[in-house]
Structure 1
Amino acid sequence: MVQVEKKQEKIDYDMEEKIDYVFKVVVIGDSAVGKTQILSRFSKNEFCFDSKSTIGVEFQTRTVTINGKVIKAQIWDTAGQERYRAVTSAYYRGALGAMLVYDITKRQSFDHVAKWVEELRAHADTSIVIMLVGNKGDLVDLRMVPTEDAVEFAEDQGLFFSETSALTGENVESAFIKLLEEINSVISKKALECGNGYYDATKLKGSNVDVILGAELEISEMKKLSSCSC
């Protein structure tokens, strides 16, 4: 048993050593649309039936290979409540992608999507890649947001779109992978524009520990801000 665990640890370590890029992705949207569940499904392939609302900010990671590059997705999750809006600047800092989630059974959560896009465009990098996601696709009988409405909005705003179910896992993997692929495409173009095939903003600096500690410091900063905004 110990030998198996050590072997897995070695595989994980080898993967970390080969990381080419770290992509920061933020998950946003109204409260209770399933942001944390989608993230949990992608990062751990888990669904928690007694999940509680996210308090402040958390992040999880997953390493994938895209077009021959080993990419560590550092995915940030925050509460959707207004009282956490004070964390905005720090939350979006360095984000290359965003997954904007609404609940297909709650029309209001979709009506607020435009406001979230506006916030992204105001605080995030202009080249950020946005994936609009209609979650809870398994609740077809309770649908309040027609797919056509979301497709039209996504096309109008230049967003990518997918409908998912964190409960069943349907399309969660493909939505995240598509988002990471598009981020990688943007980064590749920027590297070519630099003329040397190197884009400093997303190249992994230092060890993975440095990256994680940096994220934890930012999270600590944001929690302080959110506690002051209650």
Structure 2
Amino acid sequence: MMTKMKKPESGASAAANPTSSADYDYLLKFLALGDSGVGKTSFLYQYTDNTFVSKFTSTVGIDFREKRVVHRIPSADGTVGRSQRIHLQLWDTAGQERYRSLTTAFFRDAMGFLVLFDLTNEKSFINIRSWLTELQTHAYCDKPDIVLIGNKADLEDVRKVSEQKIYKLVEEYNLLYFETSASTGQNVAKAVECLLDKQLLCITSVNRSVMFVI
């Protein structure tokens, strides 16, 4: 179902000021990308609602889900910092080519990207390079934060994409990678939390730098 909404703020202004009076410390906007049918919508539902809903029609244009979380910010030295209240917007995009121009219009508004392919569909994996190229062209910076996700890991008996091919791509693009199952919930939260870690570490590092500007 298509949801009517306003276009989000740009990535540069998407993070809330941690000293504001809002009931959260940061607003983060992540975009889920990938071919139609790889399970983007099911993945996001599993993360926000802990529910697997298998009967979905293809997303038309852009839709989104939201979740409030309390997340501990990692420090650069690997230690765990203080907790932050996060308002997370997860934007769900159409994978069909005919909606590509609409999808790319939202790239600059996202702060991080979940790029999904279907482990049982090799074409969806081959097309990851095309999605990464789109990101390099349209994202808010040359090297945006990306987590690569091989979905439908529970369907091991019909798996078509080998680990060797995946890790070759991961090394080439220096990506973080998770194999997930929107059906069972395997690694779904871990994949999103990994992207949260990257974003919050970046944001807090910038905030510290600003504090010491004279």
Q: Does 1:167 align with 2:183?
A: yes
AA at the equivalent of 2:128: V
In the TM superposition, what is the alpha-carbon distance from 1:17 to its structure 2 partner?
4.3
Q: With the length of structure 2 as denominator, give the TM-score of the two structures.
A: 0.80
Higher helix share: 1
Q: What's the C-alpha RMSD, in Å, of the aligned pairs?
A: 1.7
Aligned residue for 2:93?
A: 78
Q: Distance in 2 between matches of 1:147 and 1:71?
A: 33
- Between structure 1 and structure 2, the one with the greater Rg is 1
Q: SS at the partner of 2:31? A: strand
CA deviations over 1:105-144 (Å, ceiling 9, x no partner): 1110000001101111111122521000000000001111
Aligned residue for 1:25?
A: 30
8 Å CA contact 1:28–1:101 kept in 2: the answer is: yes
Q: Distance in 1 between matches of 2:70 and 2:170?
A: 27
Q: Summarize the alignment of residues 41-190 of structure 1 with structure 2, pairs less than 5 Å apart.
A: 41-67=46-72, 68-126=83-141, 127-190=143-206
AA at the equivalent of 1:25: F
CA deviations over 1:129-175 (Å, ceiling 9, x no partner): 10000000000011111123212211221211000000111110111
Percent identity of equivalent pairs:
37
Q: SS at the partner of 2:44? A: helix
Number of equivalenced pairs: 182
Q: With the length of structure 1 as denominator, give the TM-score of the two structures.
A: 0.75
Q: Which runs of 5+ in 1 are unaligned?
A: 1-15, 198-230
8 Å CA contact 1:31–1:80 kept in 2: the answer is: yes
Higher strand share: 2
AA at the equivalent of 1:50: K
AA at the equivalent of 1:32: G
Q: Distance in 1 between matches of 2:158 and 2:204?
A: 41
Q: Which runs of 5+ in 2 are unaligned?
A: 1-20, 73-82
Q: SS at the partner of 1:125? A: coil
